[in-house]
Amino acid sequence: MKKIRKIVIPAVFLGIVYMTLSPITVWAGESWKRVEKGGAQLWSENCARCHNLRPPSGHSDREWDMLVHSMRVKAGLTGEEAKKILKFLQSANQ
């Protein structure tokens, strides 16, 4: 029984981590379709964990560029994720 636990528990944990970090997969009629996360969702999952909700219009486009760039490594964001978050934040200044 202990051997099964040593295998099953890590496998379940890794499966949960994989599902959490991978793009969402949904049934689209006749096939499965991967849905990429947008900037708003990425912001809420990564930035909002530590930062209070502030209006995105509170910073200029240039300020957001510098802030997202400086937080990318700390938050463990990929370049694509950082671009999506930056686009989301800057869209409030349009």
Q: CB 86: neighbour CB atoms within 10 A?
A: 19
Estimate to the nearest angstrom the gap between the alpha carbon of 87 and the chain centroid.
Answer: 14
Same domain flag for 92 and 62: yes
Same domain flag for 46 and 91: yes
Dihedral sign computed on CA atoms, order 58, 62, 64, 66: negative
The Cα 94–Cα 86 span in angstroms is 13
Same domain flag for 15 and 60: no
Tens of pLDDT, residue by residue, the chain (94 residues): 666 666 666 655 555 545 555 555 556 666 666 667 888 889 888 888 888 777 778 899 999 999 999 999 889 999 999 999 999 999 988 7
Residue 30 belongs to domain spanning: 1-35
Same domain flag for 48 and 7: no
Contacting residues for 85 by C-beta, under 8 A, at least 6 apart: 39, 42, 43, 46, 47, 68, 77
pTM for this prediction: 0.62
